[in-house]
Amino acid sequence: MTTRRRVPRSATLIAGCVLAGLVLAVAVLSFFWLPYAPDDTSGDRLMPPGLPHLLGTDKLGRDLLTQLMIGARVALEAGAGSVLIGGLVGLAGGLAAGFATRWLDDTISALLDILIAFPTVLLAMLVTAAREASLGSAVIAIGLAMSAIVARLTRVLVKRVLAQDFITASRTSGTSWPRIILEHVLPNIWPTLSVNLALQFGLAVLAEASLSYLGLGAPPPNASWGRMLQEAQASVFIAPAGVIAPGVLLVVLVVGVNLIADGVRDVADPTRRRTR
């Protein structure tokens, strides 16, 4: 038996990184180079894929590839923004609930349950009504909806860590609570939490696409994949590229992110690591 410690590797992690990296590369590229200007309507209506428009054009004669590349930006921004809001708010709420007295804990839990039961679309409509239909509103709504899920998970994880003996030991040796959180609680809950956040990233990308599809996301002329799907829907039989292209990219990104989440879990959790 060899006892040499190996760097954990995961095929799913690699596949996930390749898929999501592809979308990331497209998004980064879009800042430096685009086939056409975003609002260039010089093409004909619904041109099929070919030259000079690789993926064809939309109803207004805009280049589909250009729209798609900008859409990658929007999708990643939406995912990252939502995870940032959802992660921070959720972590804060979860920590508060985890450390709280019984009474406060129950109150926070009840609030979280209500928030989780609230459909994201309804939440988005409320945020949109209070602000305006924009990518920012959509991200806030998705982030808020996500924060409830993150908070509930964090609360459970925190409680589990706090019940451990080493915390009691730390406490009796006079360590302050903030230090315990930083040194013991966060490092212990992070592996599980990060996997969950990665999964939430994928869901947030889908949520943003759905909201934009419903007209609650980025307003025109911003190209969001959801908006592109909605605009191309009526012409799906005569110009399928308009629906297929953003649809495929959505799948690539979401599957990629989910594979990363799975991979991270495999790597981080020794019990799930497969022996070869």
Partner 1 sequence: MNSKTTSLIGAALVLALALTGCGSGSSGSAGSSASTGGAGATAAYDPDATIEIGSLYEPQNLDNTAGGGQGVTEAFNGNVYESLFRLTDDGKVESLLAKDHTVSKDGLTYTFTLRSGVKFHSGKPLTSADVKYSIEKVTGPDSQSARKSSLSVIKSIDTPDDSTVTVKLSSKSISLVYNLSYVWIVNSQAKSLTTTEDGTGPYTLGTWKRGSSLTLERFPGYWGTPATNKQVVFHYFTDATALNNALLTKAVDVVTSEQSPDALANFENNGDYKVNNGQSTTKLLLAFNDRKAPFDKVLVRKAITSSIDNKKLLSSIWGKYGTLIGSMVPPTDPWYEDLTTVNPYDPNLAKKELAEAGYGSGFSFTLDTPNYDPHPTVATFVKSELAKVGITVNINVITADEWYTKVYKNRDFAATLQEHVNDRDVVWYGNPDFYWGYDNPQVTKWVEQAEQSDTADGQTELLKKVNQQIAADAASDWLYLYPQIVVASSSLSGYPVNGLNSQFYAYGIKKSGGRG
Among 39, 165, 174, 276, binds partner 1 (CB under 8 A): 39
> How far from 95 is each of 85, 86, 87, 241, CA to CA, in Å?
15, 14, 12, 47
In this chain, which of 59, 159, 184, 273 binds partner 1, going by CB under 8 A?
Answer: 59
* Residue 40 contacts partner 1 per CB under 8 A: yes
**CB neighbours (10 Å) of residue 149?**
19
Q: Is 50 left (phi over 0), alpha (psi -120 to 50) or beta?
A: left
Among 136, 191, 219, 240, binds partner 1 (CB under 8 A): 219
Q: Which of 215, 244, 247, 273 binds partner 1 (CB under 8 A)?
A: 215
Which residue from 56, 25, 27, 24 is spatially nearest to 43, judged by alpha carbons?
Answer: 56
State how far the Cα of 108 lies from the Cα of 210, in Å rounded to an integer.
29
Window contacting partner 1 (CB under 8 A); options: 57-65, 80-88, 97-105, 159-167: 57-65
- Which x/- pattern, by CB under 8 A, does the window 230-269 give for partner 1? -x-xxx-xxx------------------------------
- We find the least distance from the C-beta atom of residue 62 to partner 1, in angstroms, to be 8
34 forms part of the interface with partner 1 (CB under 8 A): no
Structure token digits, residue 164: 């451990």
Nearer to partner 1, 208 or 231 (CB): 231
The distance in angstroms from the start CA to the end CA of the chain is: 12
Residue type at 256 in one-letter notation: G
Catalog residues that contact partner 1 under the rule CB under 8 A: 39-41, 45-46, 59-61, 132-133, 215, 219-221, 231, 233-235, 237-239
